[in-house]
Amino acid sequence: MTEQASAGPSSAGTRLAGIVGWPVAHSLSPVIHSYWIRKHRLDAAYVPLPVRPGHLETALRALPALGFRGCNVTVPHKVEARSLVDEESALAGTVGAVNTIFVRDGRLIGANTDVGGFVDGLHEQRPEWHRSGRRAVVVGAGGAARAIVAGLRAEHGDEIVIANRTVAKAEEIAAQFESVRAVGLRELEAELAGAGLLVNASTLGMGNGPTLDPDLAGLAADAVVADIVYVPLETALLRGASRRGLATVDGLGMLLHQAVPGFEGWFGVRPVVDQDLRKHVLATLEK
């Protein structure tokens, strides 16, 4: 499920990549990639690239001329970026969004590494998550939810339920996959009965905003509860799961693992997600 384009031929000078978004100053991607660049002693740099809405095409088309090997794409540009690349991966097409771009021979190749990033993070923190006969429930219907459903559908043979406040948005995702159905957020607790995996793929719980804190009593005793939110690292959902003795997965894993294929494609070295990297990023979050 790795989304990566092979590294192009080496060129003289510092190898460049970055992250395109608006705003982008809050992104942790420069922290992650700069850590790996230092660790592997590369002549490379990864920089934030603030691009206002309406200027994305100009920015992306300038990447080859500026010597960039590619970039990450974040909010609000992931969907638009898909329409601007010269070629896209199958996963980017399925998800309907591009979060990683590789420059190859002046062409822009779009990929989506969020899919593999979530699944790899889940496997790393809770390898026991994959159990047969257990429903998976995903909250949210945005780009992250679409990527997570795609990842789960590829590895999880059982039913997946998408719960969202606006049911129509969840239905759009469900229509793309087999054995996936949509419900309203009010039906969430009923759908948790006997479920083996619950994933918050929404912004609920982020910062000081509204939280997601359902009654988790219906979940299987050995269920796994995951949250893609990483600020705060322990959300109300994860606290509630821990109180019930359920296994939890925080949002940092997906963030770290989705960065791996891009780094390898741009700089020619496959980095490792380990505890030293996690500690480094956590220290940044705590500042």
287 in catalytic set: no
Residue 246's pLDDT band, with cuts at 50, 70 and 90, is very high
Could you report the per-residue pLDDT of 14-48, keeping only the tens digit for each?
999 999 999 999 899 999 999 999 999 999 999 99
Q: Residue 9: pLDDT above 80? A: no
Mean pLDDT value of segment 112-116: 96
Q: What's residue 92's pLDDT?
A: 95
Calpha distance 153→138 (Å, rounded): 12
Catalytic one of 78, 169, 279, 287: 78
pLDDT value at position 1?
60
The distance from CA 127 to its chain's CA centroid, rounded to whole angstroms, is 18
State the DSSP string of 89-150. Answer: -HHHHHHT---EEEEETTEEEEE--HHHHHHHHHHHH-GGG--TT--EEEE--SHHHHHHHH
* Mean pLDDT along residues 117-121: 95
Predicted local confidence at residue 49, as pLDDT: 98
| Mean pLDDT on 66-82 | 95
Take residue 33 and report the two structure tokens written for it: 């990639």
Q: Are 248 and 3 contacting, i.e. CB atoms less than 8 angstroms apart?
A: no
Structure confidence by residue, pLDDT tens digits, 187-224: 999 999 999 999 999 999 998 889 999 999 999 999 99
Burial class of residue 245 in the structure, from the number of CB atoms within 10 Å of its CB (0-12 exposed, 13-18 middle, 19+ buried): exposed
CA contacts within 13 A on the Cβ side of 155? 19
List, in sequence order, every residue forming a beta bridge with 72; answer none if it has no partner.
Answer: 19, 100
CA atoms within 13 A on the CB side of 132: 0
Q: For all residues of the chain together, what is the average pLDDT? A: 93
Pairwise CA distance, residues 16 & 71, whole Å:
9
Q: Confidence class of residue 132 from pLDDT cuts 50, 70 and 90?
A: low
Give the span between the Cα atoms of 65 and 54, in whole angstroms. Answer: 20
